[in-house]
A and B are shown apart, each in its own frame.
Chain A
Amino acid sequence: MTVASPIFLGVTAAAALAVRAGGREILLLAASLGFAAASLGLPQLGALGLFVLAGYGLLYLPRRAVALATAAAGLVALFWYLKHARPDGALMLGLSYVMFRALHVAVDRHDGAISAAPPLHRYLGYVLFFPAFLAGPIQRFEQFAAQIDAPAAPLAQVWRPAATRLSAGFFSLVVLAGLAERLFALALPVDGPAGFALAALAFAAQLYFSFAGYTAAAIGAALLVGITLPENFNRPYAAANFLDLWSRWHISLSEWFKFYIFNPVLKALLQADPARASFHAVLCFFLTFFVMGLWHGTSWAFVVYGLLLGGGVSLNKLWQIEMARRLGRKGYQALGARPWYALLARTAALAYFILALVLIWADLGALQPPDMALGAALVAGIVGLTVACARPLGPVEAGWQRLAATPWAWALQIAAAILYLVWSGRPVPALIYEYF
């Protein structure tokens, strides 16, 4: 399923028109149930229903930490089974994001941040909200509830920003990700370092353009039905370092892991042993990102991917601690402001991420280590050169953002997306995050 499909657009258009006549919450729930039903086969739909009800059951547990921890572990185990171990091997689209929402509501209810278990129809409307069903963003429950309780903004007020996000989203998802996908397919069979480097860069580009495009379209569709979803991307290619990348890429997922893994574990460790704060922080960064990597899949490649993510953020944190100790806070800040250092740090962060992603697509057994090493150096060189050359492009980017909000840009982007689909004769490129 994709957001650039007649079903998604049809559900969005019908919901946008219907919700303003009243009964928005129930109509949105009906739209979300309809979209989930259209995205999944009957057995998967039954499994999803079971999973959602199990998540709702978590809200009625006795408010004891042991009960919550046991039930949450049970829900994660059920997720694992349904997602990765079902005998029929069928895809369970959207299940990850339903789980993140369900655990968030359960923990917050237990903590008292959500004062009472919401009624079932509101809970269903939240965890299955159709624009964010396939791959987020993961909105917080209190934000969703507050917006559902308030009257929907009139269409006259939201259709322009919605059109801007939808058209830019479709252009990115169809054309930019489509071109990157073709480049990837061309580079993949090419032996040697150049083929490896080109495939690595093209895969990262496809991942970004498809996921950021999907997210923009999801945000645009949600606007039309009167819900403002959180942003999920903030120019990740401009990250100052590897830690900063995670406040810019898949932001709502990073926030979720920060709230429900990093913070509680680190807070407990700091209380138990405040003298070794830096050590605990490095450890928690590793743990959090290792688990985040593992969430993507069960194979050994994803275990290594988790180790690479965890290792990357821990090394980045260790480096920050060590540099601040050696140079002092002001000295380290001054170093960070030097152009050569900023260029090196940005290049290292992006190249490391692009190369970690290799684990998702490559058949590692078929790759020659010297080709990989040379290819990795080539990726770092190309990224560094791009980062260096992109510095003066800030005004161009700002200009494009202004242009993108005009009807001309909407029409051009939609026309380009349609022409691309007709010309290429291929379906809309896969949204890889949908399958995680």
Chain B
Amino acid sequence: MPLSPEQFDTLRAVVADTLEVGPDEIAPETCAATLPVWDSLAHLMIINAIEQRFAIKIPKITAYKVKNVGELADAVAAALP
């Protein structure tokens, strides 16, 4: 099941917080290519922050492979109980 709008807003806030940008800069298609501050370090900080906020564990390889916020939302949805 996909994330609810509230859950997606939470995800967006966590990503924006970690990257130190405004939540309006974060959309499902936002990725490292569209936002230069999203580098390999930021990627892992986002994953850790999301795992903590949602109290979930995203499988490692899935976490490394997600390419944008939309795919991240799918990974979170899959990991939620």
Contact = CB atoms under 8 A, between A and B. Distances in A.
Contacts of B36: 333
B4 interface: no
Nearest to B48: A270
Contacts of A329: 20, 37
A277 interface: yes
Contacts of A333: 36
Contact of B44 (A111, A112, A113, A270): A270
A369 B44 CA distance: 42
A264 interface: yes
B45 A111 contact: no
Majority SS at the chain B contact face: helix
B2 interface: no
A45 interface: no
Contact of B64 (A112, A263, A270, A278): A263
Contact of B45 (A108, A259, A277): A277
Interface in A263-305: 263-264, 266-267, 270-271, 274, 277-278, 280-281
Contacts of B61: 107-108, 111, 113, 259
A277 B60 CA distance: 19
B3 to A, nearest CB: 21
B71 to A, nearest CB: 14
Interface in B28-43: 36-37, 40-41
Interface in A340-357: none
- A interface: dominant SS: helix
Given A270-B48, A271-B48, A333-B36, A281 B62 contact: no
B59 A267 contact: no
A111 B59 CA distance: 7
Quick one: which of B36, B47, B48, B60 has the most chain A CB within 10 A?
A: B60
Interface string A228-239: 000000000000
A187 to B, nearest CB: 37
A278 B37 CA distance: 13
Given A111-B61, A113-B62, A263-B64, A274 B41 contact: no
A369 to B, nearest CB: 36
Contacts, number: 42
Contacts of A281: 40-41
B48 A278 contact: no
Nearest to A264: B60
Contacts of B45: 270, 274, 277
A122 B45 CA distance: 36
A41 B44 CA distance: 44
Contacts of A264: 60
Contacts of B37: 329
Nearest to B60: A111
A222 B46 CA distance: 36
Given A270-B48, A333-B36, 7 more contacts: A111-B61, A259-B61, A263-B64, A267-B44, A267-B48, A274-B45, A277-B45
25 contacts: A107-B61, A108-B61, A111-B60, A111-B61, A112-B59, A113-B59, A258-B40, A258-B64, A262-B40, A263-B44, A263-B60, A263-B64, A264-B60, A266-B40, A266-B44, A267-B44, A267-B47, A270-B44, A270-B45, A274-B48, A280-B41, A281-B40, A281-B41, A329-B20, A329-B37
Interface of A: 107-108, 111-113, 258-259, 262-264, 266-267, 270-271, 274, 277-278, 280-281, 329, 333
